[in-house]
Structure 1
């Protein structure tokens, strides 16, 4: 960890996969909150980058709110919608409605300012049906794409980093995103690449894969910085046959980020063992 004082710091976690019945999911989320709080009492924000709940149900959102309310965390908590938020399978509108009601948001995409830096939160506006090309993929409307382009255009000549969050990774970038399941993970992936490539100081955070942060290429820096956020619930990896599988059912990981005047320092955290992930310590100058 750097000895110089950062401008500000924040946490990023994803893939909590919580349900009311699954007490392990409750315990892992509560444990991650406690561990992060012990790391930095003064962190500016906690970002939960999709798949908060596993089944999309209102009672699961209620439980995750209960754990948040009873656990330590920064005052500001921001959310993105993942694919599992749709798993109640009763349609896009009610699924998005439950997420917005929980998060007190008006749309699944929005912007915030933290430490005088721009944070852009994206989110899918559709899911499924099962068997279709959009099942589990991020579907970004023209309105959302144009909104993002406007925000990025304003930041093109700024030297400060811009932090962007979407649950799904961009295909053929991070480790594992060439697996068939992830090749269609964002329907508008080319639009996203074209827009974000116009700003060299973009830091794009994605979850979804649960891939263990110890694998290589869990961070790439071209055409902009792309960062895997790990998973709170369990960790996955390749199955040796072109697919993926759970490699550690006890695994639980996330990120701690420090922002300095000239660089961003990203540390992978192993919540299960309460230790830093040596393979995932990134010092990115800008």
Structure 2
């Protein structure tokens, strides 16, 4: 069974849930042959390059008055055996360096890699090595567990899964890359809190999770504790990878599994902003990328592979993400297209902050 056939069969289990949530997932993994940029030496450097080497990138004379400004990227799908996603990521970083406003941190909401191999992570580090960036933060997506599908000779092999690999090994690779003790983490930048949640198991450990995000009791208790520690009404930013199922339901494959408990934890608090990725949906496709619940939920697009409403890759060479600016009384969010260095008019929101 080839890789595409496998995914069509596996994803069929999540079709009804995804249709209800806003569309049918037909994710196609067209792994194009290609090579990374010649002349860039391999590096064994571990960790998140940047690590505060610079306080911000973009325009140091930003006159917007924003108290905190940052960029949210999702679904890079960096692939050590193909060049397309690497090129889009470079365009994204080049755009940010020349940005019209200030960017004080970069957050990646999962699927940093295509298959979580060492070659993929090495390509990620090779790209970042060329840039002086502020500290970068990330959580895990389902693809960051995909090393179990890769055989010893580097081929996709469902039949021999887990190919001598483990989900624990994928978590270790991710945590090593971003210098974390657990796959979920907290970042405080400019006195604003970012909480990054990660799925804690994949199909090698828990076959029933499929492509869904399973959070442990420990992680959900951690989330509850971090929110309870708030002493003001400043906005807090919660990063997940898979989207939420419809309200009142728990999720399954391709969604956040323990969604009812997740929503109940967030419910008592004002000014909570949730960001998900995974669906890769083009900001220009007319779908609702912002859903107002007791919190504000934004569904990001993708840097590595933007998709149309039928979950086919768009034909244009584009990479998309979200720029967030925090002001005293509001949060402004705008979709960015990095290759063309332009704003996406269909993705522009201003959310007033509540006083309670």
Number of the residue aligned with 1:22: 82
Number of the residue aligned with 1:102: 177
Alignment of 1:47 with 2:107, yes or no, is yes
Number of the residue aligned with 1:220: 291
Residues 169 and 207, structure 1, Cα contact 8 Å, conserved in 2? yes
Number of the residue aligned with 1:83: 142
CA distance in 2, matches of 1:4, 1:44: 14
Alignment of 1:195 with 2:265, yes or no, is yes
| 1:234-245 mapped onto 2 (5 Å cutoff) | 234-239=305-310, 244-245=311-312
Residues 26 and 67, structure 1, Cα contact 8 Å, conserved in 2? yes
Number of the residue aligned with 1:274: 341
Runs of 4+ in 1 over 4 A off after TM superposition: 129-132, 181-184
Q: How far is 1:248 from its partner?
A: 3.7
TM-score, structure 2 as length reference: 0.72
Richer in strand (by share): 1
Number of the residue aligned with 1:247: 314
Aligned partner of residue 281 in structure 1, secondary structure: strand
Change (3 A) 1:134 1:96: same
CA distance in 2, matches of 1:164, 1:185: 16
CA distance in 2, matches of 1:51, 1:183: 16
Per-residue displacement from partner, 1:46-103 (whole Å, max 9, x unpaired)?
A: 1111101001101211110111121353x21101111001111122110101111111
Per-residue displacement from partner, 1:232-281 (whole Å, max 9, x unpaired)?
A: 01222332xxxx33234623101111111111111100113211000111
Aligned partner of residue 312 in structure 2, secondary structure: strand
CA distance in 2, matches of 1:23, 1:57: 15
Residues 50 and 82, structure 1, Cα contact 8 Å, conserved in 2? yes
CA distance in 2, matches of 1:130, 1:111: 25
Alignment of 1:142 with 2:209, yes or no, is no
Q: How far is 1:42 from its partner?
A: 3.8
CA distance in 1, matches of 2:315, 2:295: 30
Q: Which runs of 5+ in 1 are unaligned?
A: none
Number of the residue aligned with 1:285: 352
CA distance in 1, matches of 2:219, 2:205: 24
Greater shift in the superposed pair: 230-239 or 6-15 = 230-239
Per-residue displacement from partner, 1:3-32 (whole Å, max 9, x unpaired)?
A: 641012111101010111111111110110
Aligned partner of residue 251 in structure 1, secondary structure: coil
Aligned partner of residue 129 in structure 2, secondary structure: helix
Number of the residue aligned with 1:112: 187
Change (3 A) 1:265 1:61: same
Change (3 A) 1:45 1:185: same
Aligned partner of residue 245 in structure 1, secondary structure: coil
Residues 210 and 252, structure 2, Cα contact 8 Å, conserved in 1? no
TM-score, structure 1 as length reference: 0.89
**C-alpha RMSD of the superposition:** 2.2
Residues 235 and 248, structure 1, Cα contact 8 Å, conserved in 2? no
Greater shift in the superposed pair: 9-18 or 249-258 = 249-258
Number of the residue aligned with 1:57: 117
